[in-house]
Amino acid sequence: MKKFMLATALVLLASPAFAKDYTIKEVSDPAGDKPYYFDPDTLTIQPGDTVSFINAQEDMHDVMFVEVPKGVDEMIMSPMHEKEGDKFSYTFTVPGTYKFHCHPHEKLGMKGTLIVGQASKSGETVMMGHHKMGMMHDNAMKTGEHNASAHQKGTAVANEVLATGKVNIVDISARTVNITHDPIKALGWPKMKMEFQVAKGVDLSNIKAGDVVKFSLKAEGEDNYVVVKIQQAN
């Protein structure tokens, strides 16, 4: 009986029901000692916990995970946050050390470290290609030129970009959709889990978590792509 109760307790402790939610704020304080920073910039959580990165004010921030444990098979990055309250959430399941930064403010020290379970040992993490991709995107949006090879040549994409992927979360009220998309050659993007804003007029009522979808992206503003079409893939 005691063994049964112990086994039951261990199962309950390992259950996702005990997972926790954490918040990291994206802070702008240009007049302060630290003009741009994550609060907190160091956090330790457990596998299965979720972290939400929230823009603390009207300013531009994003979150790019530039170093992750080897067991992570996708890039983790947010869309550009421009408004107070803009949020990106991710559930971490692979233990180890994760390092992230805000691409627009990386050089100003806006960086952070997340430990899931326990820190990775030497050689147990890999560097991701976000920084190169981010630089190509910045160059593309500055040139304003249009070319089918897009980010591979440092030029912007004027027309819609077609993509496919699997839906993780749909938030109709916030008009966002979180998708693990397949590689997008036109943008030079590898497989990634990203949250996208959805353009007004795009019907999300038939889209749900778990759906495999076809969708179209279009550049909006200086550093963002929005979903302008989405449908279930047949």
Q: How far apart are CA 96 and CA 119, in angstroms?
A: 5
Least confident of 3-7, 24-28, 174-178: 3-7
Nearest to 234 by CA among 164, 148, 149: 164
What integer pLDDT is reported at residue 140 of this predicted model?
46
pLDDT tens, residue by residue, 159-194 = 789 999 999 999 999 899 989 899 888 877 778 888
Domains 19-128 and 160-232 alike in fold: no
Describe the strand order of the beta sheet including 87-91 as a list of residue ranges. 36-39, 21-28, 50-55, 87-91
Domains of the chain: which residue ranges? 19-128, 160-232
pLDDT at 11 over 80: no
Tokens of residue 98, six digits: 């994760």
Q: Check: pTM over 0.75? Answer yes or no.
A: no
What CATH class does 19-128 carry?
A: mainly beta
Q: How far apart are CA 87 and CA 197, in angstroms?
A: 11
Which CATH architecture fits 160-232? Beta Barrel (2.40)
